[in-house]
Structure 1
Amino acid sequence: MTYFYWSALLLCASACLPTTAQTLPAHGLAATYYNGENFEEAVVERTDAQLDFEWHARPPATGVSKEHFSVRWTGFLEAPATGLYILHLTVDDGVRVWVGNKLLLDSWRNQYVTDGQARVRLEAGKVYALRIEYYQSALESRLVLGWERPDVSMEDFFSGRPIFEPIPTRYLWAALPGPPTEVREAASPASPVARAIAPPDTLPVRLEELARLAKGQRLTLPNLYFTQSTADLLPTSRPVLNQLARRLREQPAMRLEIAGHTDNVGDAALNLRLSRQRARVVRQYLVQQGIDSVRLLARGYGSARPLADNRDPQQRPRNRRVEVVRQ
């Protein structure tokens, strides 16, 4: 019933939005595949239904190397029952998993096929931000993310039926309509198996370069995510924005232009509007963090200032960005 109830809410919310708003998002997770073990060159963007991959020695996607590649999945996880979930992970090589902006699994190293677990308490009917990062070094590659639900019956346990399964597609969302405040934080269990747990603003985001910017120099904000084709800021963007707010508080004389940019796919006027909206959303977030609004100027440039060749689909994602420019 939880799934159908949530789906009905989403359909209702979608129907009440203006015609320019996003459509109901797809099930699965938004995936970006990169050449390089540290997200160096974005090659493919797509929606993956599940994280249940055994690539062996084959490329994970067209144009991606069969070795020395990395993948980032982002989206949301819906909990079908209340209780303690056991996340099961099989990986070769490195992986990091965040649920509700808490780092639950951190095994970022070269390794043979390895199994790991983490425990997290979730509430039925709620959704939690989900982010998985993976890299493959050499030879075979594999990633499987599954769960053991808290509502598994003793009959299931003794029947021999598997109680651990890859997380089903119907509980994964590539994006959700609505503001980030509707997405819940994950509760930590009393005795977590996780290697590390970090609050949202202590995730590995660094902006040391900001202090070294001269007037007119710019910096692209890393790990900043929006719902596709909208200015809806995703919760996974909070770490970098919290870090930016902290840097601005440390340097009270600094003023910034927040510049939104898009690629050239689609209508130019809509791209320009989208870039302005995203810049304004970032500015608004910083103001809510206590930064004086007179220090922040939001502008959108659409596709007018590309960093890479828009004709090359492998380079085009670099043009979809938000920058800060020192004034």
Structure 2
Amino acid sequence: MAWIMHRERQKAALLGLLLLLGLCLPVLSARGQAQRAGSGIRGDYYEGTDFERFVLSRRDASINFNWGHQPPAAGMPSETFSVRWTGWLVPPATGRYVFHVTVDDGIRIWVNDKLILNEWRGQPVSSYTAAVNLKANEAYRLRVDYCQYSMDTRAVVTWERPDQPLTTPPPATWRNLWGLNAEPPAPQPIPTQFLYTRNPRPTPPLTVQLQPVTVQAKAVPAQPQQASTAPRRAPKPSVRPARRVREVGPAVTIAPSASPEPARPAADSGRTAQLARLAVGETVTLPELYFNQGQARLLPAVRTALDELATALRARPNLHFEVQGHTDNVGNAELNRQLSQQRAAAVCRYLTAHGVSEPQLRPVGYGGTQPVADNTDPNQRPLNRRVVLRRL
């Protein structure tokens, strides 16, 4: 009888221990998640109002700056500059988020490559709002562009969370005379803990090995780069109009990122040696570089490849390349040549803005004159739309 009672006590003790562990595990899990908080967002600072010359990169805790008439960082001018903040946003709750922006001068905001706010111009201190629907604990790509023309300098991005609406009055205490002197709540800057410079849930990046290819066809003579005919931005008026506020519109639903952008490489991953092994006249195709059809604007997703290429070229300043733009044969041949020239020039501008010497690069557009695949086959035609490096 005593032995049976002893076994029953052991079972009761074991059940109590399991119950205690079950209660503790959620607490331990929550603590582990709290330790993986964000550390801020990456800021790339440029001279010029449209990212003309790269100066420095740094980690910013949030986008909450009022520089007045001072430069934003050492080595930067106090006027005529631009900043690009890129990183990841992990919202703490599911629902409708309202971004409140106070800016002087221009600003653009993307969430998962979807443009939700575009006020890109010289203007006095102005306020705007944009609403998006986000899911809790999902990683969203965040990009904010800012340009400054002259005089005051301000870029502030705050938010209103769905789980903390601003309509809720603050608690009545003796400090605010039991609610009689209480100020309404205001949107706060996005906390650092929800911002990441790298994707907190990354997927293994796809590694593409560059293979040298010797061009047998006779090279087409280089065409001179066409000068830009884009009109200059009009200076902002010296007399500032009254402050403007735009009412918030309907929320834009942003889907979680299905294929996150790979993190920027911390150092050269071997491409320097690959480029140095190319003999003069040999070429290499950059498969990571692509453009939207009919456009020459660099896409955000190709920055990783270009940053790695810039690192490689800075390490070997004796390497010189012809940056070739190629298209398929669909459409007007001359327009295709002009488009390919513009794409090659866009690549060169990005590389020189990130420290590559201008004499190392020569942009040339060949249009559809040098196909590597059958243009009559829709499945092969995209292979002809490419960017190629030929060593000089």
Under a length normalisation based on structure 2, what TM-score does the superposition of the two structures give?
A: 0.46
In structure 1, the partner of 2:387 is: 324
For 1:33 and 1:50, locate their aligned partners in 2 and report how far apart those are by CA, in whole Å.
15
CA distance 1:241–1:153, change in 2 (3 Å): same
For 2:97 and 2:32, locate their aligned partners in 1 and report how far apart those are by CA, in whole Å.
21
In structure 2, the partner of 1:172 is: 195
Q: Confirm whether residue 162 of structure 1 aligns to residue 156 of structure 2.
A: no
Where in structure 2 are there 5+ consecutive unaligned residues? Answer: 1-26, 172-182, 206-247, 270-287, 296-304, 316-350, 362-385
For 1:174 and 1:120, locate their aligned partners in 2 and report how far apart those are by CA, in whole Å.
21
AA paired with 1:165?
A: Q
Q: Which 4+ residue blocks in structure 1 deviate beyond 6 angstroms?
A: none
In structure 1, the partner of 2:146 is: 134
In structure 2, the partner of 1:192 is: 250
Q: CA deviation at 1:230?
A: 7.1
Specify which of 28, 41, 50 is matched with residue 40 of structure 2: 28
Indicate if the aligned counterparts of 1:152 and 1:163 stay in contact, CA closer than 8 A: no
Deviation string, structure 1 residues 12-60 (Cα, Å, up to 9, x no partner): xxxxxxxxxxxxxx61111110010000001011010111100000000
- Identity, in percent, stands at 36
Q: CA deviation at 1:169?
A: 0.4
AA paired with 2:291?
A: Q
Q: CA deviation at 1:192?
A: 2.4
Indicate if the aligned counterparts of 2:63 and 2:156 stay in contact, CA closer than 8 A: yes
Alignment of 1:177-256 (within 5 A): 178-179=202-203, 192=250, 226-229=263-266, 243=291, 246=293
Relative contact order: is structure 1 or structure 2 higher (C-alpha 8 Å, sep ≥ 6)?
A: 1
SS at match of 1:263: helix
The structure with the larger Rg is 2
Indicate if the aligned counterparts of 2:268 and 2:312 stay in contact, CA closer than 8 A: no
Q: CA deviation at 1:228?
A: 3.9
AA paired with 1:192?
A: P
Q: Which has the higher strand share?
A: 1
SS at match of 1:33: strand
Q: CA deviation at 1:127?
A: 1.3
For 1:29 and 1:140, locate their aligned partners in 2 and report how far apart those are by CA, in whole Å.
23
AA paired with 2:197?
A: A
In structure 2, the partner of 1:97 is: 109
CA distance 1:163–1:231, change in 2 (3 Å): farther
